Structure 1
Amino acid sequence: IWLDGYTPVPNLRGKTQIKDYAEFPTLDQLPLWGFDGSSTMQAEGHSSDCVLKPVAIYPDPARSNGVLVMCEVMMPDGVTPHASNKRAT
């Protein structure tokens, strides 16, 4: 789950990934994940790669054994915060 680049008020966005963990996962176990930033107002079409960096994880109240992962949007290097990322850690 992340905030998109719409202004003045960003929207929540989400993607689903199915992974199998023996126990509740830690942030260190969660991979960086890419997305097309042109559909979320976070990039132009010719250079639209953005990266989701997991920063918090919570049990999903709607799905048994599911988790909700809060993410920050990063540039393609996975290290530099995206301009829309106002909460970079």
Structure 2
Amino acid sequence: MNWIIVAPATVRSVWVCHDLETFQKRLKVLEAFMAQRDSPVLTESQVQALEKRKLEKQVEGEIETEHPGYLDVKTRITWAQSKA
């Protein structure tokens, strides 16, 4: 295996070019990558980061649904009915 030494500034500039400058943006891309592939091979640190993100989502009250916006529509309908 050949190793390539890369400066941290180089890595950061690549991240900026691909709109991945924050950890949250990189996690979002990793989650999308996981959804597209059947069985991707992840490093232990990637698995830990995804698990941590999943726990943070649960604490923040984010819920994954089958369709985007499903809960938002349901909440608006319920709110509108309560105002009537």
Q: TM-score, normalised by structure 1?
A: 0.19
Relative contact order, higher structure (CA 8 A, sep 6+): 1
The structure whose residues are more often strand, as a share, is 1
Q: TM-score, normalised by structure 2?
A: 0.20
The structure whose residues are more often helix, as a share, is 2
Q: In terms of Rg, which structure is larger?
A: 2
